[in-house]
Structure 1
Amino acid sequence: MSFTRRHFLAATGAVALGAAAPALRAEAAWPNRNVRLLVPYPAGGSSDIIARFVSQPLAEALKQNVIVDNRPGANGNLGAAMVVQSDDKHTLLLCDVGALVISPSVYTKLTFDPNKDLRGVSMLAYSPHILAVHPSVQVNTLPELVALSKKERLNFAVTAMGSAPHVAGVAVEQATGAKWEYVPYKGGSQAITDTIGGQTQIIMNGMLATLPHIQSGKLKAIAVSSRARMPQIPNVPTIAEQGVTGFESGTWQGLMAPNNLPEDARQRLAKEMARIMNLPDVKAKLNEQGADVVLMPPAELDTFLAAERKRWAEVVRKGNIRLD
């Protein structure tokens, strides 16, 4: 090969590498395409409400479109599996993270392990459960509801078998001796609709999605599952006040990511979500509907999830809740 040809090839190779470098940098940058915020429940539930509150400010921060994508099914496990299996690094999961860690205790067959295949980004908000009844049910307190359940068949609407509201309902049963029949739905909004319509008599669901129906009189609140009474409904006592000492449950909305999301992207997301959740309008909208902004960075969220996993696994074991 001549000296001239060797130098020509070297020069053209250098030009090619130089041209490729920006493309490589663009490929490595995150995000470089639309971000999908996957909500594994139907529209209208707590996770969906929060996803739609944060999607626009998050899009502005990331300079990419943020698309809310509802993929309900199997108590949120169908959507969670889609996030785990995604390889685009731009699909995130916004869900009830408390329910997510319950799943391995309940389901004998999962296509993924949420404890290993997903990484916490940030806790976002907490909304206690409201235990409510159709207005035609002639009770006003938890002890009265328990007594009625021993005399009449009461249908108890839950977002799904094995969901956080279902397991919380089982915990109340275990503590009080109540007896009710669980009717599973594909999400909280459908469970609320049927309880308002009288097809079911009892519901336990996140306050964020349920409070408007309490305020309108379509449902009657019996108790809240928080440690203290909620300012939005100060006359409604807690479950703990009504005989179940120390009881607390609720929906914990958080952002999770698949393992292939780069660590710098995860940390950036955590910071942006903390900023967005503290925006006055976002915070006010959530507080009006009974949700508190509760932020946890990745490491703290991991610790919380481990504690919740252990806590609810015992309730599941005692209640013999197992699903295929």
Structure 2
Amino acid sequence: MPFHRRGLLLGGLALPFISRASRAQANWPARTVHVTVPYSPGGGTDVFARLLAEGLRSVVGQSLVVENRVGGNGVIGSQQVSRADADGYSLAVVTNTHTMNKYAMQAVPFDPVTDFTPISLLSSFPMVIAASASAPYKDVAGLIAYAKAHPGEISFGSSEASTSYGGNEFARLAGIKIEEVAYRGGAPLMNDIVAGNLPLGWTSILSAGPYFRNDRVRILAVTSASRSPLQPEIPTAAEAGLPGYGFAGWYGMLGPVGMKPDTAEAIHAANLKAVALPQYRQRFTELGADLKMLGPQDFAAYLRQEDSRWAEASKAGLIKPLQ
């Protein structure tokens, strides 16, 4: 390869060059870092990313600027980061919709796995199954029994690819038929449940948070394999009547493809330190975050598994095309 030939010609001169480059990467960050959130301000991902950035500022002693770049179900902001320099100063915090968009949209201008550098799987978070208080069931077992007795009479709301999958996978495993109604966000979905216009919906635990104490909403279950530290009294769907059902969203940090491995590792190490700070850890827990982080290599393997999972789900008709 040309690099090796040049190294042989330069002899000992190549070693100081490599050493200086290594030191430069180890000193990340030397200037302001820009973190793109490709979703709306005030949403769960935005709140999480800004709290993480606050912790990172304390750890690395540099400014981190969080920017919302909204559009295309997260595609526009992610594309911007994919085209940036892979030097560790342009990062993105995304959710599992980043990998699902490939199967829910007609065209995505990048590959969600190969066109990015995985840095950290930051946290997983559960969805919730929310029902109107006027619905004729009070728990997951009752929902399944009613749906079997009244096939096709129940509709459920979804707001993007992951909540669509959550509802359709639930129906598949339960052997029931429920009709999907697409919403443009978790807030209007929950508003219709509160008003009694929608009997059932899948949404993030953050979107449902303001309704936990609302007597017009029943939170039937969380979708994750284990209970959420945010609301530990809410059972999992598996505990409540549907064994084998387990699905959670996640937050992850990505950079442009081609980032040096030691830079990615340095950023991941800073993330670990940031979430461990006592003044931030409780606030992350209040967001429903589990903070079971994965580093660059493990996150890369996780993304490949996610891609395979969504490919199979799409073939099975469990991910509906976005309108």
Structure 2 length-normalised TM:
0.80
Equivalent-residue separation in structure 2 for 1:312 and 1:223 (angstroms): 23
- The farther-off stretch of 81-90 and 172-181 is 81-90
Identify the residue that residue 10 of structure 1 maps to in structure 2. none
Identify the residue that residue 173 of structure 1 maps to in structure 2. 171
CA 139–275 in structure 1, closer or farther in 2 if over 3 Å, else same: same
Question: Are 2:282 and 1:276 equivalent residues in the alignment?
Answer: no
Structure 1 stretches lacking a partner, 5+ long: 1-24
Contact in 2 for aligned 1:208/1:286 (Cα 8 Å): no
1:198-209 paired onto structure 2 within 5 Å: 198=196, 200-209=198-207
CA 322–155 in structure 1, closer or farther in 2 if over 3 Å, else same: closer
1:65-144 paired onto structure 2 within 5 Å: 65-87=63-85, 89=87, 90-96=89-95, 98-144=96-142
CA 165–62 in structure 1, closer or farther in 2 if over 3 Å, else same: same
- For residue 263 of structure 2, give the secondary structure of its aligned residue in structure 1: helix
- For residue 69 of structure 1, give the secondary structure of its aligned residue in structure 2: strand
Identify the residue that residue 162 of structure 2 maps to in structure 1. 164
Identify the residue that residue 181 of structure 2 maps to in structure 1. 182
- For residue 132 of structure 1, give the secondary structure of its aligned residue in structure 2: strand
- For residue 44 of structure 1, give the secondary structure of its aligned residue in structure 2: coil
Counterpart residue identity of residue 181, structure 1: E
- For residue 39 of structure 2, give the secondary structure of its aligned residue in structure 1: coil
- For residue 126 of structure 2, give the secondary structure of its aligned residue in structure 1: strand
Identify the residue that residue 239 of structure 2 maps to in structure 1. 241
Counterpart residue identity of residue 299, structure 2: L
Identify the residue that residue 312 of structure 1 maps to in structure 2. 310
- For residue 264 of structure 2, give the secondary structure of its aligned residue in structure 1: helix
Equivalent-residue separation in structure 1 for 2:33 and 2:300 (angstroms): 23
1:151 Cα deviation from its structure 2 partner: 6.1
RMSD: 3.0
Contact in 2 for aligned 1:127/1:208 (Cα 8 Å): no
Q: Deviations over 1:228-286 (max 9, x none)?
A: 33455444332113443221111111111111444332221100001111222322122
1:150-161 paired onto structure 2 within 5 Å: 150=150, 154-160=154-160
Counterpart residue identity of residue 36, structure 1: H
- The farther-off stretch of 38-47 and 113-122 is 38-47
1:297 Cα deviation from its structure 2 partner: 0.7
Contact in 1 for aligned 2:55/2:275 (Cα 8 Å): no
CA 182–140 in structure 1, closer or farther in 2 if over 3 Å, else same: same
CA 322–154 in structure 1, closer or farther in 2 if over 3 Å, else same: closer
Q: Deviations over 1:12-43 (max 9, x none)?
A: xxxxxxxxxxxxx9999754543222112223
- For residue 265 of structure 1, give the secondary structure of its aligned residue in structure 2: helix
CA 281–95 in structure 1, closer or farther in 2 if over 3 Å, else same: same
Counterpart residue identity of residue 115, structure 2: D
- The farther-off stretch of 29-38 and 280-289 is 29-38
Structure 1 length-normalised TM:
0.79
1:21-36 paired onto structure 2 within 5 Å: 30-36=28-34
- The farther-off stretch of 247-256 and 222-231 is 222-231
1:320 Cα deviation from its structure 2 partner: 6.1
Identify the residue that residue 289 of structure 2 maps to in structure 1. 291
Counterpart residue identity of residue 252, structure 1: W
Counterpart residue identity of residue 156, structure 1: F
- For residue 302 of structure 2, give the secondary structure of its aligned residue in structure 1: helix
- For residue 36 of structure 2, give the secondary structure of its aligned residue in structure 1: strand
Counterpart residue identity of residue 112, structure 1: F
Equivalent-residue separation in structure 1 for 2:92 and 2:281 (angstroms): 21
Identify the residue that residue 252 of structure 2 maps to in structure 1. 254
Q: Percent identity?
A: 26
Counterpart residue identity of residue 254, structure 1: G
Equivalent-residue separation in structure 1 for 2:230 and 2:60 (angstroms): 34
Equivalent-residue separation in structure 2 for 1:44 and 1:178 (angstroms): 34
Counterpart residue identity of residue 284, structure 2: L
Contact in 1 for aligned 2:155/2:179 (Cα 8 Å): yes
Count the aligned residue pairs: 297
Structure 2 stretches lacking a partner, 5+ long: 1-22
CA 228–267 in structure 1, closer or farther in 2 if over 3 Å, else same: closer
Contact in 2 for aligned 1:211/1:290 (Cα 8 Å): no
Structure 1 moving runs of 4+ over 6 Å:
25-29
1:44 Cα deviation from its structure 2 partner: 3.1
Q: Deviations over 1:46-73 (max 9, x none)?
A: 2112112111222343433222222233
Q: Answer with 1 or 2: which has the greater Rg.
A: 1
1:205-224 paired onto structure 2 within 5 Å: 205-217=203-215, 219-224=217-222
Counterpart residue identity of residue 280, structure 2: V
